[in-house]
Amino acid sequence: WGDEGKGKIVDELCRKFDVVVRYQGGNNAGHTVVADGKKFKLHLVPSGLVSGKKSFIASSVVIDPKVLLDEISGLKATPKLLGVDFRVHVIMPWHKYLDAERDKGKDKIGTTGRGIGPVYESHASRWGIRVEELVDESLLKEALGRSYPVYDKTLKMVYGVEAMPSEHEIFKEYAEMGGKLKPFVADVSIEVNEALDKGKRVLFEGAQGVMLDNNFGTYPYVTSSQPLAGNVAASVGMCPKKLERIEAVVKAYTTRVGEGPFPTELQGEEAERLREKGGEFGTTTGRPRRIGWLDLTMINLGKRLNGYTALHLTKLDVLGGTKKLKVCTAYKLDSQKIDYFPTQKEWISKAEPQYIELDGFEDLTQEEWTELVEASNEKGLAALPAKAREYVEKIQKLTSLKVVSVSVGPERHKTLLLESKE
């Protein structure tokens, strides 16, 4: 459900790459990268931009221009370093009002409130405004003339919202932002295909997570885009056969922000302790994240949907000091055992998680973890305390996936790399 530490892993991986591309979602995402003692909280630009990699935002991403401009200025990014596809859809003020108005009451999803659902809706229904229009005053005027009255009327008549700025105010604000973004506009399909043809290495970075996928997640408690690897080629505009390797980032336990089913969720003191220790508060909204045990049926579902061949396991240190560790390996459904995640509505309410129990490992300090990782990168998993190693090995065994890195703290050097850096 997101928040596994993709920002950190992309920051680590991108050293081996020439180009980094973000392929879906919008500023509902929050990626934290800690580099050279500085903490970067990114919502839109690829995490590779922190280390000055050539970066692109592909067509299935949606942007709030203000958030993008803030990130551009925070990272001092130039048009040489960052390209935004001209097809990208723009979040307009009405999308945020609609998100807020709809996400209420007992059926609320608990969205990030950034206008994500409504902007993808405009996209699909062809009422959207794209970056190519945002950066051209006369096209923007035309686009506003087409969509403003419809959304204004909807907000007033259906939701009783009178707070929306006037068409002219919106035009002024967005035209100004468009002017600033104009130099960044690119055709990401052409750029990425050319880079690949020249033998450059390209890393594609997703947002959110498998269980928030609009098709395959716990619908309707999902986001409005497709984080799955299959969406990379469709978003970028390239041949899917060009994807060479697909890797997953998985947290050592599970979290979820917002509403929706979470069968391995923990309550009370144990959840509270992990939440505090792991800093499990939303990067985008600051909301406390719900906490639960690792669920291998979700990893196995993700493996089927994405075909990933390797796992990056993050935040293992946070589990230190928990006496007994539980891992969900199957579900019981109407007295039958199933080894897959029960995503269907009818099942999810009655499926009971089945756990295996493992001994916990010691609560090391961040200094101790660092020493251990730095001293023994050649030792591989043997660098870890015995019980922590057993936990990782169990995950490998029950998913038939190799764990290629184990992360034990937010900073760059707190990663145990289990594969050559080729």
Residue 189 to residue 195: CA distance in whole angstroms: 10
Q: Does 109 bind ligand IMP (CB under 6 A)?
A: yes
Residue 170 to residue 92: CA distance in whole angstroms: 9
Q: Does 236 bind ligand IMP (CB under 6 A)?
A: no
Question: Is 3 considered catalytic here?
Answer: yes
**Count, residues near ligand IMP per rule CB under 6 A:** 20
Q: Does 3 bind Mg ion (CB under 5 A)?
A: yes
Q: What are the angstrom distances between the C-alpha of 69 and each of 45, 372, 410?
A: 10, 40, 26
Question: Is 64 considered catalytic here?
Answer: no
Which one of 177, 210, 257, 328 is in contact with ligand IMP (CB under 6 A)?
257
Q: Does 114 bind ligand IMP (CB under 6 A)?
A: yes
Task: Find the shortest distance in angstroms from Cβ 4 to Mg ion.
Answer: 8
Residue 126 to residue 113: CA distance in whole angstroms: 22
Which one of 10, 58, 116, 274 is in contact with ligand IMP (CB under 6 A)?
116
Q: Does 48 bind Mg ion (CB under 5 A)?
A: no
Which one of 5, 25, 26, 30 is in contact with Mg ion (CB under 5 A)?
30
Q: Does 297 bind ligand IMP (CB under 6 A)?
A: no
Residue 117 contacts which entry, Mg ion, ligand IMP, none (Cβ below 5-8 A, type-dependent): ligand IMP
Cβ count near 31 (within 10 Å): 27
Residue 34 contacts which entry, Mg ion, ligand IMP, none (Cβ below 5-8 A, type-dependent): none
Close Cβ partners of 317 (under 8 Å, ≥ 6 residues apart):
364, 366, 369, 408, 409, 414
Q: Which stretch binds Mg ion (CB under 5 A): 38-46, 130-138, 214-222, 280-288?
A: 280-288
- Using the minimum distance from each CB to ligand IMP, give the nearer residue, 3 or 133: 3
Residue 42 contacts which entry, ligand IMP, Mg ion, none (Cβ below 5-8 A, type-dependent): none
Q: How far is CA 377 from the centre of its chain?
A: 28
Task: Find the shortest distance in angstroms from Cβ 410 to Mg ion.
Answer: 12
Q: Which stretch binds ligand IMP (CB under 6 A): 27-35, 168-176, 185-193, 241-249?
A: 27-35
Q: Does 30 bind ligand IMP (CB under 6 A)?
A: yes
Q: Which of 31, 95, 123, 312 is catalytic?
A: 31
Residue 178 corresponds to which tokens in the numbers above? 């468009």
Q: Which is it for strands 38-42 and 31-35: parallel, antiparallel or unpaired?
A: antiparallel
Active site residues: 3, 31
Binding site for ligand IMP (CB under 6 A): 1-3, 28-30, 109-112, 114, 116-117, 207-208, 212, 223-224, 257-258
